[in-house]
Structure 1
Amino acid sequence: MGRLLRGAVADLTPLRESADYRRIWFGQGVSSIGQQMTAVAVSVQVYALTGSTFATGAVGLCSLIPLVAFGLYGGAIADTVDRRKLGLIGSAGLAAVSAMLAAQALLGLRQVALLYLAVALQGAFFAVSSPARSSMIPRLLPAEQLPAANALATVSMNLGMTVGPMLGGLLIGAYGSQAAYLVDTVAFTATLYAMWRLPAMRPDGAQHGRRASVLDGLRFLREQPNLRTSFLADLAAMIFGLPRSLFPALAVGFYGGHADTVGLLVAAPAVGALAGALFSGWVSRVNRHGVAILAAVIAWGLSIAAFGLTSGHLWLGLALLAVAGCADTVSMIFRNTMMQVAAPDEMRGRLQGIFIVVVAGGPRLGDFESGTVAALTTPTISAISGGLACVAAILLLAARRPAFLRYDARHPSP
């Protein structure tokens, strides 16, 4: 029984065997908690200053635009410079923005435009440094440990998404927004220290110092069917099967609840994702990554469609959202691993940049799709049809790309 349990929980081998990876993982986990605290504080400040939900919602738009624009550009930079230095610059920039937010809160400047500017700068620094950080991991670990490393990264990310907002709310309630910003600023020291201790991470061979084109990355992705299919599978899940924008309407009309019910609906997928990452010890034993990705996204779509049928049964709806979050974690682990292993080193930065655009843009498109369908029909129909459309899109992908189902991590091919 003990051996079975050890085989089920997250594999800690990357943390045990690589001090560099261990420092990066810890630093990113701590800074993720801090960044989530800052996100809550910015929203609280903007709403307190304006009393407008539209102005508060515009915070997301201020972050999305630089994430998309600089994500592609940051990936191209990461393929031509020392990735360690780029990671240091990006992390230092994020720490500086958090310090700026703390200063404006302490000084009581009460300028919404300044908050929007800070959020935009955060998006830009994150988009520039994230491809560099992600493309470092295959240099630090052997290929067979990458699934476990991606599972561990998901653990730290979802811990940040669950713990960060709660701690942020407590700190803001007790000491004001400046407290959350100050904690976030200090939290970045862990990431900066991890980056500082890394060896140089220059691109392989002749690519170092040469100009890397974003278009080259897009052309490479277009010509590599397995990697392209993994991106399309994620887009199908996010565009058709993400009912996030329906949660306020469903909380009231579906479950007879209020704002606290919305919070539960938002948290449920993250709880499931965290559980999936914590019990991911089995992922390193799976070699058919293409099959695993498509099966996980189908599970996501079916869970969302079933969620649309749970009117009046809140806990069943929360359980299905948690199952969907767990399936999304499985898909993410194998998609990241495929990109890290199958792509050549000189393209990893640009592919990570494209990945940021997909991750940032897909959910926003999903919000638009689900909200539009709900306006034309009902929120229930939107949730059910979105989940089923996701499944249909994945089955179509599987039919059109049968080679993706044969993808074997022991013989990776992009």
Structure 2
Amino acid sequence: MTSAPDRLRSRLLPNTAPWRSSRDFRLVWTSGTVTLFGSIFTMTAIPLQIADLTGSPWAVGAVGAVELVPTLVFGLYGGVLADRTDRRTVALATEVALAALSALLLAHALLGAPSVWPLYAAAGLAAALQGIQQPSLEAMIPRLVPHDQLVAAGALLSLRWSIGGVVAPAAAGLLIATAGAPAAYLVDVGTFLASIVFLARMRPVPSARDAERPQLGEFVEGARYVARRPDLIGTYLADLAATVFALPTALFPFLAEDLEAAWALGLLYSAGAAGSLIAAATGGWTERVHRHGRVVVLSAALVGAATAAAAFAPGLWAVLLCLTVAGGGHWIGDTFRGAIWNQSIPDGLRGRAAGVEMLVGSAGPALGDLRAGGLAARQGIRAALGTGGLLCLGSAAALSAAIPALWRYDRRAHRVGPAMEPAP
């Protein structure tokens, strides 16, 4: 008979079945974790370099605008590639290109007088490469684990973001403070090389239409499928609400100054990830939830409320607590959005649908950085933070009323295999 503590652990701790059952899932998970760690070092170094060179919140927020167009263009084509070519090959080739880009950033940082425009150029090129890569990475997951493990797989993938997000920003801030930006870029190059080794050990993940030449016009077919699914559209809008309005990372270098705690910049970057990690580490409950759409909406509301509360928090530790709660809300929303996508989209359309997800997932933070930086430049850091949180909260309320298909979404009505359509 199972003891009460064992039952409690099984209800709270994440399910590791996908890790145990699939060698290729372990390789993808490990590759992504290593890459994420190094990429966060670079994502911390670039805004800090721009802030040091310009002293402008607008200039830091503009990084998001530079990333937006390449993400839109290459995310579309990346989705088509994921449905036409070997998904592992696409992921591996772009990982090599991203490693080369990090090496160029390292060389630029070693210059005696680095300039701003190469940082913007690198951000745009990285966005293009990630736009090509991400749909293939996302679309391969349902091919690597059984259908009944997709929620657990999504939780484990979110867990790696949480782990990296807690450890890497604090470590990056400390490393940059002591050894400078070149050291951060050097770490990124090393992690990319390790990630390439893991991806190279995977088995191929070919498309059913591998022999045909990819055509960008095929994206229209995937867009039409998404347009017929208001529940999917609702997940994208919920993600946009949370990231455009309530993901204020562009404000952190200036928020640290406002709080008179420049030393705590790494903590500000890590707070959201700490909340995600807490949610992931106690996420065993996610597999027992059936109404995924409802949780997506409520998680966006939680993110908005916590972000708005951070604007009125009286000191550093209160701000960190609010950002930690917001991070937990982001993790919950990401996990259940991913479950809806993987459970209900047929394999032949998964790459192009992942392209849409990539556009939304990247455009949201990019637009959010631009919004936050522009508003902060005009009205102040706290106003930008509070306005965003309230807009996110209001958007979640509007979504629950405007898209009832999302609110009613129940995973028991959607079960697809590699070549199956959703159940009616």
Question: What TM-score does the superposition give when structure 2 sets the normalisation length?
Answer: 0.84
1:283 correspondence with 2:286: yes
Q: Deviations over 1:284-331 (max 9, x none)?
A: 222211111112122222323333443x25433322221121011001
Change (3 A) 1:52 1:309: closer
Q: Deviations over 1:194-237 (max 9, x none)?
A: 32222222223589545353333322221111111111111222
Name the aligned partner's letter for residue 229 of structure 1. G
Name the aligned partner's letter for residue 200 of structure 1. P
Task: Tell me the SS of whatever aligns to 1:79.
Answer: helix
Aligned counterparts of 1:62 and 1:278: Cα–Cα separation in 2: 35
1:219 correspondence with 2:224: yes
Name the aligned partner's letter for residue 187 of structure 1. T
Identity %: 37
Q: In structure 2, which of residues 79, 86, 90 is the aligned counterpart of residue 82 of structure 1?
A: 86
Residue 278 of structure 1 and its aligned partner are, at CA, apart by: 2.0
Q: In structure 1, which of residues 133, 139, 142 is the aligned counterpart of residue 137 of structure 2?
A: 133
Residues 302 and 387, structure 1, Cα contact 8 Å, conserved in 2: yes
The 5-angstrom pairing of residues 141-290 of structure 1 reads 141-204=145-208, 208-212=212-216, 213-244=218-249, 256-260=259-263, 263-290=266-293
Q: In the alignment, what sits opposite 1:301?
A: 304
Residues 106 and 178, structure 1, Cα contact 8 Å, conserved in 2: yes
Shifted more, 17-26 versus 176-185: the winner is: 176-185
Aligned counterparts of 2:200 and 2:21: Cα–Cα separation in 1: 19
Q: In structure 1, which of residues 363, 366, 391 is the aligned counterpart of residue 365 of structure 2?
A: 363
Q: Deviations over 1:129-154 (max 9, x none)?
A: 11111111000001221122112112
Q: In the alignment, what sits opposite 1:341?
A: 343
Shifted more, 98-107 versus 21-30: the winner is: 98-107
Change (3 A) 1:259 1:68: farther
Change (3 A) 1:364 1:130: closer
Aligned counterparts of 1:387 and 1:111: Cα–Cα separation in 2: 34
Aligned counterparts of 2:47 and 2:253: Cα–Cα separation in 1: 17
Task: Tell me the SS of whatever aligns to 1:281.
Answer: helix
Q: Deviations over 1:226-278 (max 9, x none)?
A: 1111111112223344455665676666xx53434555444322211121122
Aligned counterparts of 2:386 and 2:61: Cα–Cα separation in 1: 26
Name the aligned partner's letter for residue 285 of structure 1. R
Q: In the alignment, what sits opposite 2:102?
A: 98
Q: In the alignment, what sits opposite 2:353?
A: 351
Change (3 A) 1:189 1:371: closer
Unaligned runs of 5+ in 1: none
Name the aligned partner's letter for residue 306 of structure 1. A
Name the aligned partner's letter for residue 165 of structure 1. P
1:292 correspondence with 2:295: yes
1:392 correspondence with 2:423: no
Unaligned runs of 5+ in 2: 415-421
Residues 161 and 273, structure 2, Cα contact 8 Å, conserved in 1: no
Question: What TM-score does the superposition give when structure 1 sets the normalisation length?
Answer: 0.86
Residues 305 and 386, structure 1, Cα contact 8 Å, conserved in 2: yes
The 5-angstrom pairing of residues 14-163 of structure 1 reads 14-43=18-47, 50=53, 52-53=55-56, 58-105=62-109, 110=114, 112-163=116-167
Residues matched between the structures, number: 410
Q: Deviations over 1:319-371 (max 9, x none)?
A: 22211210110010010111122111122222222222222222343345556
Shifted more, 292-301 versus 370-379: the winner is: 370-379
Name the aligned partner's letter for residue 339 of structure 2. T
Shifted more, 284-293 versus 187-196: the winner is: 187-196
Residue 58 of structure 1 and its aligned partner are, at CA, apart by: 4.7
